[in-house]
Structure 1
């Protein structure tokens, strides 16, 4: 019963998010603040993960190709498709679920337990719309940028790994990246990034908004936000792949 209760309450919560903002100037200021705190400050961790991710994929692929009949540019091809189709869209968003999701849940949860949200409600402000809508739109706006950046840095990391280790010649790796490239793969990853951004922001805000008690309960809400967001990302990743790539 608790699962259906949360699904119903989450649906009503999402409906409240998309009410018309009361003051567009305040909304724009909150949106820009959230773009910086949730998106731009995540660039560092995304870059570090991506460069090592690309390097490991290239290294492992090249070490597992034993047959001399398989051309070396296959390493670049495998690295490109792995990074674009799955790692930069799904794995990076799972990492962002931990960083961004816990940030949103803890911020809103702290406002709940310190009665700041109650004060907004007493003043007649739609607290869900005021607090959550800027974060949702900021995530939807900035996540595709982070995913595209991850693709580029991941391929760069793979190229550097092949070059520095001598496992894959530079020309072969670059040729593999270009070989039979399907632009729809990038579109597919961007679609996933937008959906995952919506899931992370709304689910995390939901658990933070309905937290109660004190600091311990805010921590519990942050943990639930990350866990539930991650499970939903994996579930929707499977559904989107079935819909768009089969």
Structure 2
């Protein structure tokens, strides 16, 4: 048990130290703009399908369940704002971070872990290349741009999915539905989810990079590191979501 807690403390400390090194290297040249664009394509464009499919069905099932249950209390007119608030504040950013983040982080771990076990990172050091600036900073910058954009798209698709259920399944009046929804849903509800997505993007990238850089044991160790990354990302998103929600509610509500 003591060994487990020691490894856990070392892992958290390692991620924190890596974050500090990334911050120190952010403003250093070169900019590696081409690498940032490449990572944006890998993280964003290739993850859109997964995020959008999850978003539309999440919005549909949430609206379906909400309508069925709120009809018991004569409150079916408020399904729109309830669905919108749930998607904008929680479901959109959290599900996007878990699905896209797991895919992105495991890919980062696999790539960096492969470089680690084949000693390519040691070769970069020998050549005098700042591997943190070259390998990690572009991924972090790409995540800071991609995660909010994907979350915003997922929010939109989720809202449309929920609206489709209300219009075609529950026969709700479209004008009334959107009027009630826009009355109760405020811009800060959307911004709350976007703020969360920025933090989630940072966590996903740091976890993926750290686990990749710490990979040992050849291909077997690479497999373990990739699997651990998916678990770490999922737990990090869920746990940090609670504290971010508490913080944002305390600051703005």
TM-score > 0.5 by shorter chain: yes
**Structure 1 unmatched ranges of 5 or more:** none
Could you tell me which residue of structure 2 aligns to residue 142 of structure 1? 146
**Using a 3 Å threshold, how does the CA distance of structure 1 residues 101 and 203 change in structure 2: closer, same or farther?**
same
Could you tell me which residue of structure 1 aligns to residue 54 of structure 2? 49
Could you tell me which residue of structure 2 aligns to residue 79 of structure 1? 83
2:20 counterpart of 1:15:
yes
Distance 1:148 1:22 in 2: 31
| Aligned-residue RMSD, C-alpha | 1.6
2:69 counterpart of 1:64:
yes
Q: How big is each residue's C-alpha offset from its partner over 1:125-178, in whole Å with a ceiling of 9 and x where there is no partner?
A: 121221011001100111101111111111111111222223533233222321
Residues 42-191 of structure 1 mapped to structure 2, 5 A cutoff: 42-67=47-72, 69-70=74-75, 72-191=76-195
Contact 1:76 1:172 in 2 (8 A): no
140-149 or 218-227: bigger deviation: 218-227
Aligned positions, number: 243
Contact 2:84 2:185 in 1 (8 A): no
Could you tell me which residue of structure 2 aligns to residue 3 of structure 1? 8
Distance 1:34 1:190 in 2: 20
Residue 99 (structure 1) shift: 1.0
Secondary structure (helix, strand or coil) at the match of 2:44 reads helix
Residue 8 (structure 1) shift: 2.5
Distance 1:93 1:167 in 2: 33
**Structure 2 unmatched ranges of 5 or more:** 1-5
Contact 1:14 1:202 in 2 (8 A): yes
Secondary structure (helix, strand or coil) at the match of 2:128 reads coil
Distance 1:156 1:233 in 2: 25
Contact 1:97 1:229 in 2 (8 A): yes
Contact 1:90 1:237 in 2 (8 A): yes
Residue 223 (structure 1) shift: 1.4
